[in-house]
Amino acid sequence: MYVAGIDVGSVAAKAVVLELLPNGGSQIAGRAVLPTGWNTAEAGEFALNNACEAAAMARNDLRHVTATGYGRIALPFADKTVTEISCHARGAAHLFPRAGLVLDIGGQDSKVISLDIPREAEAGSLDAVRLDASGGTASLGALKSASKPGAVRDFLMNDKCAAGTGRFLQVLSGILNMPLDELGKAAATGKPVAISSMCAVFAETEIVGLLARSTPPQDIAAGVFRAIARRMCALARRIPMQGECVFTGGLATSPAFAAILSDELGLTVQVPHDPQTVGALGAALIAADLCAKKDRALNTQQ
Amino acid sequence: MKCASFDRIITAFEKNALAVQEAKREGKKVVGQYCLYSPSEIAVAAGAIPVSLCGTRNDSIPAAEEMLPRALCPLIKSSFGFALKDSCPYLSAADVVVADTTCDGKKKMYELLAAYKPVFLLQLPQVQNDDALAYWRHQFELLIAYLEKEFGVSITEQKLRDAIKLMNRERMALKAVMDLAKRKPSPITGMELLEIGFKTSFFPDKEKGISMMLELADDLGKMADAGQTGVAASAPRILLTGVPVGMGSHKVVRLIEECGGSVVCLDNCSGYKKTRVMMDEQGDPLTEMARRYLDVPCAVMSPNPRRYEAIKELAADFAVDAVVDLTWQGCQTYAVESSSLKKFVQESLQLPFLQIETDYSETDTEQLKVRIEAFIEML
C-alpha cells in the first residue's frame, strides 16, 4: 500500500511516495523535486506524478495524499493539508530519532522547530520509535515527555521579510551569475566580507557597491553565507538547544552553507540525505499515520 | 452563537453615531477616550458621555503616515489618521479628548492631536506603588477641575460615587457576557466576544448598553443550557493576551478561529481587562478610582506583575489550552515583555505559547496562517 506527501514551496515542489510495509513500518519508494514556477497546482501535480513514476506505481494506488507548504491549499487532489512546521518536524524525527531541533531554510522563510525527544530515543531503543507510526498523544509542556515522534514543542519563524532565507541567496546568485553549488564552492574559499544589510533589497545595493570596489566574488559569497547563518543562529538561540540539530530545506543542499552554519552554531548540524524532501516525507508519514488510525478504528468497530 | 439580543446590539451600533449626535443636541457633552486608563467615572460624574474613539482600522493609516513615522504602531497611526481625516464620528462629537501618557508613541501623538481637538493629558505613572497612587489621584483631581471649568458643572463626591456604581454595573454586564466563554464548549466565539466588547464601548446611553449586555448574557446562557453550542467541543481554547484589538484590527482572532481554535478570553484593554477594574463603592471615590485604574496591567508599567497574575488566573478560570500573545509592530513595551511572558507561560503555567507580531494590514495573512495553523496542530 502506498501513501504520498507533497510539499509545494515558493521555489520548489517536492513529493515523496511511501510504501507501507506489512510489519507496520514504511519505506520511501520514490521522490521528486521540481521548480514551482508560477502555477502552484500544476507544479504539485507534476511532482506527485514524477514521484509515483520513480516509485514505479500507479497514482490511483495512492491511498492518501497529505499536502504541505505554501501551495498546500491549491492542490485539489490532497486528502488533507498540514503545515510545513508539523511536516518538517515529523520528517526530521523519522530520519534522526534523537532530533531535538530542526532548522529549515526555505525559499521565503526560515524556521526553528523544537521537538519533544521521545523517551525511547533518549534511552537508545530507536527501532521502537521508528515503528511507532501513530500512537501516543502530543505533549504540551516542556516537562511532559511525548511518545509520538516529531511532536512539536515550540517553533519560531522569521518575520515577514526575506532576510535570512533562500530568497536572499537567490539575489546573490542573480548578481554573481552563479548557481547555488558554485556559490557554495566560492564561499568555501572566500574570506567573508561584512554584509551589514539584512534586507534582501538593500543587500543587493550593498553587493553591487562591493563589486564596484573590486571585492572578489568568493569573498562576497562567503560574506552572504555567513550573514544568513548568523541570522539563523539568532533565531535558533531563542529556543533552548537540546538533542541533535537537523538542518533541512533547500539551503541544506549546500555542504558549504551547512559547514558555515555549524561553525556559527558551535555544533555540527545533521543534514539528511535529501534535505529538500524532509517536509514531503513528513507529510507522507502523517498520511501513513492517518491510514493506520482509520484501520484501527475499523478494526475496533468490527 | 447569534440570537435576537445579539442582533439588537449590532443594530444599535449601526445607529450609534446618530444617537451620539442626538445626545449632543440635547445638550450632553461628549468625552472621547482612547485608553483604559482614562476614568470614565469622571466624565459620567460631569454629566457627560464617555465614548471610545476610533483607532482600529487600517484605512486611516496612510493619511497618518504623512506626518507620523511609518514604523510607529498601527494603533497610534490609525487613531491619528481618523483625526486628520475627520472620519471618526465619536472624535468629531467629542468636546474634549482625555488621554494618558502611556507609551512614548502615544504621548507624542497626543501633542499633535491637540491641534485638532482639546486634549486633556493625564500623566500616568509607570509604576504601581503608593507614591504613584498619590500622584495619579492628583491627576484625577486636575481632570475634575478641568471638566468642571470646561463644562460649567460641579463634580461632587456623591456624583463620583454614583458614577462608580454605574460603571461597576457596566463592567459586571460585560463580564457576564465574557464569562459565557468559561463554559465548555463556549456558546460564543472569540469574534463575537470582540464584536460585543468593541461595539458596546461606543454606546452613549450606559443604561441601555448594560441592559442589552445582560439580556445577551441571559439569552446565550439559556441557549447553552439547552445544549446549543457556538463552538466545536474539540476546538483548542485560546487565551489571547497583549495589545488592544477591535473591529478592523481583528485579523488574528479571525485567523485563530478559521484555523480551528476557539478564542475564549481576550485579555486586553478592549476585552477582559475592562471587567477587572471593579471598584469599592464605599471608600473615598477618587482614591479608589486612582487605585483601580493604576492597577491596569499594561506593558508600559515597569514592573508589570499584575499581567502575569491575571494570565495565571484567566488561564485557570477559562480552562485554556494555550496562550497567544499579540504585539503590534512598533509596540516596544509589549514586544519586549513577550519574552518574559513566554517563559512564564511555558514554564510556570506549562502551556504552549505563541507570539504574533503584525500590523492592521492583510499583507502577512498567509504567513500568519502558517504560524497559527502549526500552533493549533501542536495542541
pTM of the model: 0.91
DSSP annotation string for A210-268: HHHTT--HHHHHHHHHHHHHHHHHHHHTTS---SEEEEESGGGG-HHHHHHHHHHHTSP
Distance from CA of A123 to the nearest CA of B (A): 24
State pLDDT tens for residues B10-38.
999 999 999 999 999 999 999 999 999 99
Domains of chain A, earliest start first: 1-96+272-302 (3.30.420.40), 101-143+152-271 (3.30.420.40)
* Binary contact (A83, B352; C-beta < 8 A): no
DSSP annotation string for B69-87: -TTS-HHHHHHHHHHHHT-
Which of B251, B349, B365, B370 has the highest number of chain A CBs within 10 A, making it the mutation to test binding with A? B370
Percent of chain A surpassing pLDDT 90: 69
Q: What is the mean pLDDT of chain B?
A: 97
Contact status of A85 with chain B (Cβ, < 8 Å): yes
More confident residue, B235 or A206: B235
The answer to whether residue A271 scores a pLDDT higher than 80 is yes
> What CATH code is carried by the domain that includes residue B67?
3.40.50.11890
With CA atoms as reference, the chain A residue closest to B373 would be A83
Q: pLDDT grade, residue A160 (50/70/90)?
A: low
Asked if residues A217 and A178 have their Cβ atoms less than 8 Å apart, the reply is yes
State pLDDT tens for residues A79-116.
999 999 999 999 999 999 999 999 999 888 899 999 99
Q: What is the mean pLDDT of chain A?
A: 87
* Binary contact (B370, A159; C-beta < 8 A): no
In a domain, B83, yes or no: yes
Give one word for B86, left, alpha or beta, with left for phi > 0 and alpha for psi -120 to 50: left
C-alpha distances in Å from residue A20, one per residue of A64, A131, A133, B240: 11, 11, 10, 41
C-alpha cell at B300: 508600559
Contacts of B375 in chain A (CB under 8 A): 155
Q: pLDDT grade, residue A120 (50/70/90)?
A: low
With CA atoms as reference, the chain B residue closest to A146 would be B378
Asked if residues A31 and A280 have their Cβ atoms less than 8 Å apart, the reply is yes
In a domain, B135, yes or no: yes
Domain count, chain B: 1
Q: How much is the pLDDT for A144?
A: 38
Q: pLDDT grade, residue A241 (50/70/90)?
A: confident
In a domain, B305, yes or no: no
Which of B344, B346, B377 has the highest number of chain A CBs within 10 A, making it the mutation to test binding with A? B377
Mean pLDDT value of segment B318-344: 97
Which of A59-73, A197-211, B67-81 is least confident? A197-211
With CA atoms as reference, the chain A residue closest to B351 would be A141
In a domain, B107, yes or no: yes
Q: How much is the pLDDT for A130?
A: 39
B67: containing domain: 16-156
Of B353, B357, B377, which is closest to A159 when you measure between CB atoms?
A: B357
Name B184's Cβ contacts closer than 8 Å, sequence gap at least 6.
Answer: B233, B237, B319
In a domain, B365, yes or no: no
More confident residue, A198 or A141: A198
The answer to whether residue A132 scores a pLDDT higher than 60 is no
Which of A160, A161, A165, A235 has the highest number of chain B CBs within 10 A, making it the mutation to test binding with B? A160
Contact status of A285 with chain B (Cβ, < 8 Å): no
More confident residue, B214 or A130: B214
Quote the CA–CA distance of B91 and B93 in Å, as a whole number. 5
- In our burial notation (b when 16+ CB lie closer than 10 A, e otherwise), range B329-341 reads bbbebbbebbeeb
In a domain, B285, yes or no: no
Mean pLDDT value of segment B195-224: 96
Give one word for A150, left, alpha or beta, with left for phi > 0 and alpha for psi -120 to 50: left
Q: How much is the pLDDT for A202?
A: 81
Contact status of A86 with chain B (Cβ, < 8 Å): yes
State pLDDT tens for residues B71-100.
999 999 999 999 999 999 999 999 999 999
Q: How much is the pLDDT for A199?
A: 76
Contact status of A212 with chain B (Cβ, < 8 Å): no
* Binary contact (A84, B371; C-beta < 8 A): no
With CA atoms as reference, the chain B residue closest to A154 would be B352
Asked if residues B230 and B185 have their Cβ atoms less than 8 Å apart, the reply is yes
Mean pLDDT value of segment B121-144: 98
Percent of chain B surpassing pLDDT 90: 98
Q: Could you report the predicted ipTM of this complex, rounded to two decimals? A: 0.86
Q: How much is the pLDDT for A6?
A: 98
Asked if residues B354 and B322 have their Cβ atoms less than 8 Å apart, the reply is yes
Which of A154, A161, A235, A290 has the highest number of chain B CBs within 10 A, making it the mutation to test binding with B? A154
In a domain, B68, yes or no: yes
